[in-house]
Amino acid sequence: MEIKVLNSLEEIQNGNYIGYYWCSGAKKPTVVTGSFEPKLDDKSLFIQEAMLWDEEKKVSIMVQYTHRQIITQYDLSSVSEIDLNQVTISYIGHRLENNPRLKFFRYWKEEGDQLCPGFKVLKMKAQIFIGVE
């Protein structure tokens, strides 16, 4: 798996995405099906959150705005289909139309731990958006 931090929304590659983006002044998110072409409304200054998944390329884009905009691109093309289907969790998207279940891949990494000397333990490093159920 390759993880890349992007500097701006313009760096997001064209793709056939499913997901959503949420503008800072909006009351609900905007659903994306196809290309990602965000449009800010009169009340919004930035995109506060976005989750995009390109099933064909196996690329996930996640945008978060906490104290600054953080755009992370996850290339999951090297992750097996079995792992993508088994190491997942889903949450209800309450503010999305029809309340779909948003699906996330849990990325675990084996590391040493001071509480388990001499043993490796799995630590969850990321929950990566991988579409809608």
Note the pLDDT tens digit of each residue in 52-73: 999 999 999 999 999 899 999 9
pTM: 0.89
Residue 80 to residue 100: CA distance in whole angstroms: 25
Burial class (CB in 10 A: 0-12, 13-18, 19+), 64: middle
Query: Containing H/E element for 4?
Result: strand 2-6
Residue 3: alpha-carbon gap to chain centroid:
11
Average pLDDT over residues 31-40: 93
Residue with tokens 């919004």: 44
Is residue 85 over pLDDT 80? no
pLDDT band, very low/low/confident/very high, at 104 (cuts 50, 70, 90): very high
